[in-house]
Amino acid sequence: MLIKFFIRPRKGVLDPQGRAVAENLRSLGFSDVKDVKVGKYIEVYIEDKTVEEAEKEAHEMAKKVLVNDLIEEYDIEIVENR
């Protein structure tokens, strides 16, 4: 089973990397770029569980290790083995 984590800065949190990317894109002619947020994408592979168990474990992983709750927010996606 695969757990996908999509982590990004919270709204209102300074994102210097995102600002640098936005400025670079504008300098390359992409003048319609309004803002950029740079985040993280993490894949965690776990032994087979129910989707409910995997989701619970994913939230625990996020809170304990993967996400700085003060400045980041996240979404998860559970992908079952086929």
Q: What is the pLDDT of residue 68?
A: 97
**Strand ranges in the chain using DSSP code E only, listed in sequence order:** 2-9, 40-45, 72-79
Domain 2-79, CATH among 3.40.640.10, 3.40.50.720, 3.30.1280.10, 1.10.240.10: 3.30.1280.10
Q: Looking at the predicted structure, is the pLDDT value of residue 76 above 90?
A: yes
Per-residue pLDDT of 1-53, as tens digits, reads 999 999 999 999 999 999 999 999 999 999 999 999 999 999 999 998 999 99
Point out which residues pair with 56 in neighbouring strands: none
Q: What is the pLDDT of residue 82?
A: 65
Q: What is the pLDDT of residue 81?
A: 80
